[in-house]
Amino acid sequence: MMDLLNALLVIILVMNLFSLGTSRILSVIRIVAAQGVLLGIIPLLLRERPGFPELVAAAVAIVLKGIVIPGVMTRALRDAQIKKEVTPLIGLLPSIILGALATTLALLFSNSLAMAPSQGGTLIVPAAFATILVGFIILTTRVKAISQAVGYLVLENGIFIFGLLLVDAMPLVVEMGVLLDLFVGIFVIAIIVKHINRAFSSTDTDRLVSLKE
Amino acid sequence: MSSIGLTLSAILILAASGLPACLLPRRSAGGQRLAALAMTIGGILGTAAVALSFGPSSATSLKLGWLLPWGSFSVAVDPLSAFFLCLVFVIPALGSVYGLGYWKQMEHEPNGQRLGLSYGLLAASMAMVLISRDALLFLISWEVMALSAWFAATAENDKPEVRRAGWIYLIATHVGTLVLFAMFALWNAQTGSFALEPRGAMLTSGAAGAVFVLALVGFGFKAGFMPLHVWLPGAHANAPSHVSAVMSGVMLKMGIYGIIRMTGLLSAIAPWMGTALLAAGAVTGIAGISFAIGQRDLKRALAYSSIENIGIIGMALGLALTGRACGRADWALLGLAGALLHVWNHGLFKSLLFLNSGAIIHATGTRDVDLLGGLAEKMPFTALAFTLGAVAIAGLPPLNGFAGEWLVYQGFFMALDPSAPRGFEAMAVAAVALAAIGALAVACFVRLQGGVFQGSPRSAAGGHAHDPGLAMKLPMGLLGLACLAIGLFPAMAAPFLESVALAWVMPSGPEATFLPAAMPHIADLAPLAWVGWLGGGIALLAIILYTATRLSRRNGQVGEAGHGTWDCGYARPTARMEYTASSFGQSLVGLLSFILWPTRHGPKIKGSFPAAAKFRSELPDPILDRALRPLFRLGRIRSGGIRSLQQGQTQLYILYILGIAIVLLLSGGRGVSR
């Protein structure tokens, strides 16, 4: 069980790097959707016999992260008629290197944390930190509003992984709350993308600088 | 249904009154009508609930748990709440009916729904403020009130001056709320709970003093005591008139309510508290009315006059506090009764005057008194209603302003009583201040009434003026009648006033200052019935005089064609030669220049045939324009370095968050034992 869990987490980490390294936004959305599906499987692996809350969490995560949110974003992409992240603030290769650095840092950092014995052998904590950091990198380096939405999605995936740690201590209600927030957030962003597109005839968030004051 | 249940349902109806309009198309008139209907129903229900709360057997309080970790949902209607609730349930409802004629949603398509929604919320949150018995619930309601007032006052946000006034209001109200946070935190630290119940005995005298000062400052921002009034003139002048009426007539009183409520909870009142409030009130009153005299903007003048009235209420409260501090139940009763009656009165006549100013603006399109004139012929109803309001606000019989101020005068004169405790003779000086305020108020409103309604039109603005429609006339008429009713029958209000005063003077508990039996009655101290008779006599006299002059004018040949009212014997006078409202106020502005500091821009006239020149005089607000604006400008220059942080790029902002998160991660691990 533990090995399978760790294998999944490693795939998730690789997907992080992939999402950093491609400029086609549609591919990034698909990768993140796949990541969401994998994340949905993880709660089922945490216990020998998954109970009702785990099943619900898995189902909701797969449906929302794997299907609904990527669907909304693909539609927004089609409406706004963008294909590529043309001018990221940092090039694709440097951002992959940054992502790799962040992953290493996360591994080092989580080694220095005091862990409960049950989590000793898993990659959950480093994977969570690495995914959160990658989310931040996407958020800070990409210009298109839709890429930023992808960044938030990756960020939330990281938080979701972290939430798995607390599956015993903290009720899943909290995680559900986060998911709902995100769901609403994506909707808002999809709407904003449309409006930015109409108002500034571009979906580059750079243009928002003119709203500074 | 219990009284508290009825009150809460009325509040719900008020809060939701703007919702239907949000679901209807923006241009439809139905939404606004529904909102006015809901406001009226809510108002009537609420008034019924208030009446019920005075009844013998009806639950007047309710306490529920809630999800927040502190406080509780604890509400109650006691006489003090009920007294203020009357205003909250009546004035906004009248204002919303008035709005049907004055501020049609169809004509304000972009922000009509916003005004409807925030207007209902404003009324509901004010009622919640009044019935909250828990500091947390109080603060939540207070904040909802402040924000909905902001949304309502900036409804016409396409105008830059409206936005500017809105920002000043928003800053001022939040500074005030911050002070209230400090006050309630102190209250919680001293009494061990957020419940607003009389636990004053648990406070040390120093803490009680601190609570009093914080309450005076925090609530003073809302009420508009003089150095804290900065937001008031701009916000009142730039809001739609029915919103100004609610803000001035009702919302300012929430500050007064807060002060009365908190002083009622404190058991030990020190004499200096009364003196402080007395001084603050006197300064506010005199300075407020002085600035009102110098304003060209009709609504700004009314706003400054609101400050003056808050000053009068403050003085009356100061008298009441002094009475409690030195054990004189009669001073406390007269002071509090005067303050409360003036709260009602000001709520009625100031709303009337603001609604009137709305009718004038609606008809002429300007607020500048110097551009108006001669409207009495074209708008007789408005002129009559304005005159009623002006007489009332100047504190003249037979209207209600006189009754309230008369009680306060009686209280101040009692300080000269030989049986009064030593050291309080100086309080009689306050009567002089009150008299000065009254005299200046008469001058101020003679100036406004004369400038707007008498003479001949000073510009083309009043060319097509006419009286407003029924939707606007009805609330104005009702308010005018209410002013007259209280003026003629002030004794009717005495039982209300006594029941509030009884609860306020004696915080229930072992350390009660007075015994109920020792509580005097207003009728013994100050026979209000006489005021009614006097007022009736004066009203009768006025009617007789008016009819007599009317008859003599009809029989005689006064008023030949071609002669204006103020033509000074010129053969061909023009409206530009007319005495303006500014000219009328000129001598007083000169006399009061040590308070007002007027500025004049214009050349010195030399020689016999001077060239064409321009002259301009201004009356900047001493606190806002002379102190705060330069201070903020300096602050903006000094803090220029920090502004480079504000780049406007979302990416950079996220980077800031990331940086903080990393710093927290790294420093948060410190101190954790392995």
Give the range among B73-87, B412-426, B607-621 with minimum mean pLDDT. Answer: B412-426
In a domain, B619, yes or no: no
In chain A, domain spans: 2-112+119-211
Chain B: closest CA distance from residue A83 (Å): 20
- In single-letter form, the type of residue at position B553 comes to R
Chain A: closest CA distance from residue B673 (Å): 8
Pairs of residues, one from chain A and one from chain B, whose beta carbons lie less than 8 Å apart:
36
Determine, for residues A109 and B649 on separate chains, whether the beta-carbon distance falls below 8 Å. no
- How far, in Å, CA of B657 to CA of B637, rounded? 27
- In single-letter form, the type of residue at position B357 comes to S
Phi/psi for A102 (5° steps) reads -60, -40
pLDDT at B37: 94
Determine, for residues A205 and B655 on separate chains, whether the beta-carbon distance falls below 8 Å. no
pLDDT at B233: 92
Higher-confidence position of A153 and B387: B387
Query: In chain B, whose CA is at the least distance from the CA of A109?
Result: B666
pLDDT at B674: 43
* pLDDT band per the 50, 70, 90 thresholds, residue B278: very high
Residue B647 contacts A where some CB pair is shorter than 8 Å: yes
**How would you classify residue B2: left for phi > 0, otherwise alpha for psi between -120 and 50, otherwise beta?**
beta
By percentage, how much of chain B surpasses pLDDT 70? 93
By percentage, how much of chain B surpasses pLDDT 90? 43
Query: In chain B, whose CA is at the least distance from the CA of A148?
Result: B651
Residue B463 has pLDDT above 70, yes or no: yes
Say if residue B26 is exposed, middle or buried (CB neighbours under 10 Å; 0-12, 13-18, 19+). middle
- Selecting from A109, A148, A210 the residue whose C-beta is nearest the C-beta of B650 gives A148
Higher-confidence position of B47 and B202: B47
The rounded Cα B655 to chain-centroid distance in angstroms is 46
Maximum CA extent, chain B: 107
Give residues with Cβ within 8 angstroms of B135, minimum separation 6. B71, B184, B187, B188, B194, B195, B196
Q: What is the pLDDT of residues B496-522, one digit of tens each?
A: 888 888 888 765 444 445 555 567 788
pLDDT at A187: 66
Query: Which chain B residues are closer than 8 Å to A142 by Cβ?
Result: 651
Residue A166 has pLDDT above 80, yes or no: no
- Selecting from A109, A112, A208 the residue whose C-beta is nearest the C-beta of B650 gives A208
- How far, in Å, CA of B94 to CA of B123, rounded? 12
- Selecting from A142, A208, A212 the residue whose C-beta is nearest the C-beta of B646 gives A212
pLDDT at A167: 64
Higher-confidence position of B128 and B668: B128
Rounded to the nearest integer, the mean pLDDT of chain A is 78
Planar angle of CA B369, B374, B380, nearest 5 degrees:
110
Chain A: closest CA distance from residue B22 (Å): 20
Residue range B106-125: mean pLDDT, rounded:
88
Determine, for residues B651 and A112 on separate chains, whether the beta-carbon distance falls below 8 Å. no
Query: Which chain A residues are closer than 8 Å to B669 by Cβ?
Result: 112-113
Residue B379 has pLDDT above 50, yes or no: yes
Cβ–Cβ under 8 Å, residues B475 and B97: yes
Residue B362 has pLDDT above 70, yes or no: yes
Determine, for residues B655 and A113 on separate chains, whether the beta-carbon distance falls below 8 Å. no
pLDDT at B125: 96
pLDDT at B636: 85
Q: Which 3-state string (H, E, C) describes chain A?
A: CHHHHHHHHHHHHHHHHHHHHCCEHHHHHHHHHHHHHHHHHHHHHCCCCCCHHHHHHHHHHHHHHHHHHHHHHHHHHHHHCCCECCCCCCCHHHHHHHHHHHHHHHHHHHHCCCCCHHHCCCCHHHHHHHHHHHHHHHHHHCCEHHHHHHHHHHHHHHHHHHHHHCCCCCCHHHHHHHHHHHHHHHHHHHHHHHHHHHHHCCCEHHHHHHHCC
Query: Which chain A residues are closer than 8 Å to B665 by Cβ?
Result: 109
Residue B654 contacts A where some CB pair is shorter than 8 Å: yes
Chain B: closest CA distance from residue A141 (Å): 7
- How far, in Å, CA of A205 to CA of A85, rounded? 12
Residue B122 has pLDDT above 90, yes or no: yes
Chain A: closest CA distance from residue B645 (Å): 11
- How far, in Å, CA of B590 to CA of B617, rounded? 12
Give the range among A152-161, B216-225, B445-454, B509-518 with minimum mean pLDDT. Answer: B509-518
Residue B648 contacts A where some CB pair is shorter than 8 Å: yes
Query: Which chain B residues are closer than 8 Å to A89 by Cβ?
Result: 651
Query: Which chain B residues are closer than 8 Å to A139 by Cβ?
Result: 651, 654
Query: Which chain B residues are closer than 8 Å to A112 by Cβ?
Result: 669
Residue range B294-314: mean pLDDT, rounded:
94
Query: Which chain B residues are closer than 8 Å to A208 by Cβ?
Result: 648-650
Query: In chain A, whose CA is at the least distance from the CA of B665?
Result: A109
* pLDDT band per the 50, 70, 90 thresholds, residue A118: low
Residue B651 contacts A where some CB pair is shorter than 8 Å: yes
In a domain, B440, yes or no: yes
Rounded to the nearest integer, the mean pLDDT of chain B is 86
Query: In chain A, whose CA is at the least distance from the CA of B661?
Result: A133
Query: In chain A, whose CA is at the least distance from the CA of B666?
Result: A109
Closest CA to B124 of B54, B60, B38: B38
Query: Which residues of chain A are at the B interface, by a Cβ-Cβ cutoff of 8 Å?
Result: 89, 109, 112-114, 136, 139-143, 148, 205-206, 208-212
Q: What is the pLDDT of residues B74-100, one digit of tens each?
A: 998 888 999 999 999 999 999 999 999
Residue B126 has pLDDT above 90, yes or no: yes
Residue range B57-70: mean pLDDT, rounded:
74
pLDDT at B511: 47
> DSSP letter at B368?
B
Determine, for residues B651 and A205 on separate chains, whether the beta-carbon distance falls below 8 Å. yes
Residue B664 contacts A where some CB pair is shorter than 8 Å: no
Choose from A137, A139, A196, A205 for mutation: most chain B CBs within 10 A. A139
- How far, in Å, CA of B651 to CA of A136, rounded? 9
Determine, for residues A109 and B655 on separate chains, whether the beta-carbon distance falls below 8 Å. no
ipTM: 0.74
Query: Which chain B residues are closer than 8 Å to A113 by Cβ?
Result: 669
In total, how many domains does chain B have? 1
Residue range B599-607: mean pLDDT, rounded:
81
Chain B: closest CA distance from residue A213 (Å): 8
Residue B479 has pLDDT above 90, yes or no: yes
Query: In chain B, whose CA is at the least distance from the CA of A133?
Result: B658
Residue B223 has pLDDT above 60, yes or no: yes
Say if residue B192 is exposed, middle or buried (CB neighbours under 10 Å; 0-12, 13-18, 19+). exposed
Determine, for residues A136 and B674 on separate chains, whether the beta-carbon distance falls below 8 Å. no
Cβ–Cβ under 8 Å, residues B218 and B176: yes
Determine, for residues B650 and A205 on separate chains, whether the beta-carbon distance falls below 8 Å. yes
Determine, for residues A143 and B651 on separate chains, whether the beta-carbon distance falls below 8 Å. yes
* pLDDT band per the 50, 70, 90 thresholds, residue B139: very high
- Selecting from A112, A113, A209 the residue whose C-beta is nearest the C-beta of B649 gives A209
